[in-house]
Structure 1
Amino acid sequence: MRSAPSSETREVARAAAQWLALLESGAANADDHARLQHWRNSNSQNESAWQKAQLLRQRFSALPSALALATLDRPDPSRRAVLKRALGVAALVPTAWLLGRQLPLDVWRADLQTSTGEHRTVPLADGSSLQLNTASAVNVDLGARQVTLVRGEMALKVAGSAPLTIQARYGRIIVSRSEVCVRLNEHDCRVSVVSGSVQLQPLFGPQLELREGQRVRLRAEGAGQIDAFDAQLPGWRDGVLMAQNQPLGDFLRELSRYRPGLLRWEPELEALRVTGSFRLDNTDRVLSLLAASLPLQVHSRTRYWVTLIPQKNQPKNTPPKNIG
């Protein structure tokens, strides 16, 4: 089930790096800016790659001066040729960075993947069911009875008695006649049991059993404290994002996982509270609901670059509202 990275994805990252180099050179004219805008607006993958390219401006701040000097005092017919050669060299470092960050090798080579905002259900040959959340990747080896979570979040339902082992960064989860969700974060791995029970083998510390309605975070130093949750509430497996008197900042950080491009908000909005259930298949509508029920406005520079700002002449301390 191994698959090589698509040439289209690599070309998008490469194009974003070349656009960045062109703009930073100071040689871009009005037509160049118009073509860049058209390229960005043509699809979400282009816009997402461009937003990542913007982050390179400070990292490679020495490049623009070098490019500009290379094109000064040149006859106009040869100016473009010189610029093209300079851009070819300058784009090498940004392209390598973009490809390395956007397309890590382990994700390229994963057996199953989802893109941002995508949700996927895969029946396995042994009768088990695997679901992948947004921007996730797994490897499946039924011969070894193992699923490896490479990135993101997955749910596994094992109906038979033969256990399947989920290999995650901070430990192993043994699943038999149970359903479990596993989310890989930057510094931990969250394990939540939807039905049945599972055995946890942290990298360090004792093994433990986790039962239905319980969850725990696995870290490098071992398992954290077990807490409870309502396993019957809808969640990402049902395409729903739930909030119960949640700080808006936390809600938006979670929502941004399902949106391509950039979602930003002013710090003053962090402490507002939100309650409701929201469909994840239309995150633009979620933002519209927030704007209709909370003192904020949605400003869209492009479809993939959205900023939330406080609404003028509105009190900052607004009581929580159910807006789902």
Structure 2
Amino acid sequence: MSRCALPRDVLEAAAHWYVQLNDEAARPDEHAAWERWLAADATHREAWERMQALEQRLNSLPGDVAQATLGTASAARAKRRRTVKLLTLLLSAGTVGALLPDIETGWRIARADQRTGTGERRRIELADGGTLDINTASAVDIDYGPDLRLLRLLSGEIMVQTANDPRPFEVHIEHGAIRALRTRFSVRRDDGQTHIAVFEHAVEIRPHTGPVVRIDHGQQTAFSAHGVSAPAPLEPGAGAWRDGKLIALDRRLDDFLAELERHRPGRIACAPEVAGLRLSGTFRLHDTDAVLETIAESLPVRLRHLTRYWVKVEAAREKTG
């Protein structure tokens, strides 16, 4: 098997096990579970060997850069999810050199003007009287100058309520810029695209190439460096995270769990046989354990905790006898 042919879920599992076993509080039963996982398949062993090789490569990097990547594996729980994502990327590439830009991004995120950990949300007042809401696992730099009010979104998601000010207001991301037109809107970096939702007035999206596109209130869209997708109506519950809520309206279970995972340290896996179940409701993000328990009570699923930070949602066992 080639170095690049390992399934992503196997690479992700290796990264999770690395983070878990480097926790000082790791229990003997977790070590035993890791050994069973390692022995279950040849791809697991190859992924783990790649993990060990990665550790050796990162140990040779400058201290600040290594601390911003592999060093976070033994840091606070709030950093776990970001650490696993970065480790999975590094493992997938098979070389640190191929992903130096990602390491540099991690370094910038660690030193951002404002950043939140997993499950943390924050609201701050901007210098012009506007407000900035920062969602889970997000980082943003704030640069207010004499001619431009500028935010640089480095990771995650923000919601902005702009204030009246003669200076233009823009959010810059890797794909281009968003100019606010007296508005409230959210910006999210995800899946190689930037997602925009407009709750008041309008914004102008300016990708690096392609025309400027205006998005009005009640609309959402996504864009890359090469263009903007056609706008669509806002999804029900869009922006509810600002109030600590996650709203689902006939939503697929796997999609809902992927969103919930952003607010919870560790991993939530969804078994394929239950992925298409539909879910509706309003859920409080301050207690993700309670959200998972509610799902298990309302749908024919059960929760299987593989480790303290790794839970799998799978089909409930049929009762016998």
Provide the residue aligned with 1:52 in structure 2: none
Distance 2:165 2:253 in 1: 42
- Residues 1:61 and 2:49 are matched in the alignment: yes
Distance 2:50 2:157 in 1: 38
Distance 2:269 2:236 in 1: 31
1:195-221 CA distance string (max 9 Å, x none) = 111122122211121111011111132
Aligned pair in 2 of structure 1 residues 171, 268: CA closer, same or farther (>3 Å)?
Answer: same
**Structure 1 unaligned residues grouped into runs of 5+:** 1-12, 21-32, 41-54, 67-87, 315-324
2:109 to 107, 125, 129: 107
What is the root-mean-square deviation in Å for CA atoms of aligned residues? 3.3
- Residues 1:219 and 2:224 are matched in the alignment: yes
The Cα shift of 1:281 comes to 0.8
TM-score by length of 2: 0.69
What amino acid does structure 2 have at the position aligned with 1:137?
Answer: A
The Cα shift of 1:57 comes to 6.2
TM-score by length of 1: 0.69
Aligned pair in 2 of structure 1 residues 169, 195: CA closer, same or farther (>3 Å)?
Answer: same
SS in 1 for 2:268: strand
8 Å contact kept, 2:236–2:247? no
Distance 1:62 1:220 in 2: 33
SS in 1 for 2:136: coil
2:59 to 64, 67, 92: 92
8 Å contact kept, 1:234–1:242? no
- Residues 1:282 and 2:284 are matched in the alignment: no
SS in 2 for 1:271: coil
Counterparts in 2 of 1:45-84, with a 5 A limit?
Answer: 58-59=46-47, 61=49
Distance 2:132 2:171 in 1: 11
> How many residues are aligned here?
251
8 Å contact kept, 1:215–1:229? yes
What amino acid does structure 2 have at the position aligned with 1:151?
Answer: S
Distance 1:63 1:270 in 2: 29
Distance 1:119 1:35 in 2: 26
- Residues 1:149 and 2:158 are matched in the alignment: no
8 Å contact kept, 1:17–1:98? no
SS in 2 for 1:237: helix
The Cα shift of 1:289 comes to 0.6
Q: Which has the larger radius of gyration?
A: 1
Aligned pair in 2 of structure 1 residues 56, 147: CA closer, same or farther (>3 Å)?
Answer: farther
Distance 1:267 1:249 in 2: 8
What amino acid does structure 2 have at the position aligned with 1:149?
Answer: L
Q: Which moved more, 1:100-109 or 1:113-122?
A: 100-109
Aligned pair in 2 of structure 1 residues 131, 17: CA closer, same or farther (>3 Å)?
Answer: closer
The Cα shift of 1:305 comes to 1.8
The Cα shift of 1:92 comes to 2.9
2:136 to 127, 134, 137: 134
SS in 1 for 2:27: helix
What amino acid does structure 1 have at the position aligned with 2:111?
Answer: R
Provide the residue aligned with 2:92 in structure 1: none
8 Å contact kept, 2:267–2:309? yes
Aligned pair in 2 of structure 1 residues 276, 17: CA closer, same or farther (>3 Å)?
Answer: closer
Provide the residue aligned with 1:247 in structure 2: 252
Distance 1:184 1:108 in 2: 17
Distance 2:172 2:120 in 1: 22
Distance 1:115 1:57 in 2: 31
Provide the residue aligned with 2:270 in structure 1: 265
Distance 2:121 2:143 in 1: 21
8 Å contact kept, 1:256–1:263? yes
The Cα shift of 1:181 comes to 0.3
Counterparts in 2 of 1:151-300, with a 5 A limit?
Answer: 151-162=155-166, 163-229=168-234, 235-300=240-305
8 Å contact kept, 1:63–1:90? no
What amino acid does structure 1 have at the position aligned with 2:26?
Answer: L
Distance 1:18 1:238 in 2: 31
Aligned pair in 2 of structure 1 residues 199, 257: CA closer, same or farther (>3 Å)?
Answer: same
Aligned pair in 2 of structure 1 residues 231, 211: CA closer, same or farther (>3 Å)?
Answer: farther
Distance 2:56 2:220 in 1: 50
SS in 1 for 2:256: helix
Provide the residue aligned with 2:26 in structure 1: 36
SS in 1 for 2:289: helix
